[in-house]
Chain A
Amino acid sequence: MRQGRFELKLVPDWDTVKASWDDCHRFLSEHGLDGDQAYALSMTAQELLENAVKYGGFTNAAQRVELYISLDDRDVIIEVKAPAHGDPARLKKLDDTIQWIRGYQSPFEAYVEKLKQVSAQPYAPGESGLGLARVAYEGQCVLDFYVDETDVLAMSAVHHLL
């Protein structure tokens, strides 16, 4: 029976987050995921961590971005927690993006549509939703999020193994 849990608490810094790839990949491989699955889910963790670092509402140096991966025979659950941004419009946009992805019959269609949208816009760094669409498509994950009573945003990606 497969069962495991992995967690990391990271300084919300780009290089620190990038360096977590190897630990994620090792954990997933050691728990029996094949190379392609371990890669796709490590990518998923990276995309969620990158979003947390970019758009999290970090207000002091003690705050961390937290990564949790749990798995069993049925599912792999990847969860990233970070302080929620103070602007409610950000949460609304996140919710809209997730609902928009779910509205497509297949995540592939959503991803292609998002690529087309991005290609037609003038370049400006910021939220495009491309990373979430990619997680849904390439990671084959169902996305969700909640904000807890301490204003921490928990973003989850669930990948069904069966």
Chain B
Amino acid sequence: MSINYKKYLPLTESTAYILLALAEPLHGYGVMQKVETMSQGTVKIGPGTLYGAFSTLEKEALIIKVEEAKRRKTYTLTEKGKALLKEHIRRVEILLENGLSTKDWQ
């Protein structure tokens, strides 16, 4: 799959966590809870931010709606979303390795 990564990267921390949470199908509230737990409380997503992220990510075909019960929409990652998340994680991993191995600044 060829994706124009430059268009999306770097992802904001919230967006990266939202994508990661959507590895399984979840609705809005589920995403918020999962992100807060996963991030050990460092990332709390506000409802305005989440709604905006859902519509942007859906428009870019990075996530897809799999269910709409009452007024709650359930989303999950698309193949494109997975590829983007993978590339983002790869870059963060490089940063992490550099951060941990370089001792001069610590």
A binds B: no
Q: Interface on A for B, CB 8 Å cutoff?
A: none
Q: Interface on B for A, CB 8 Å cutoff?
A: none
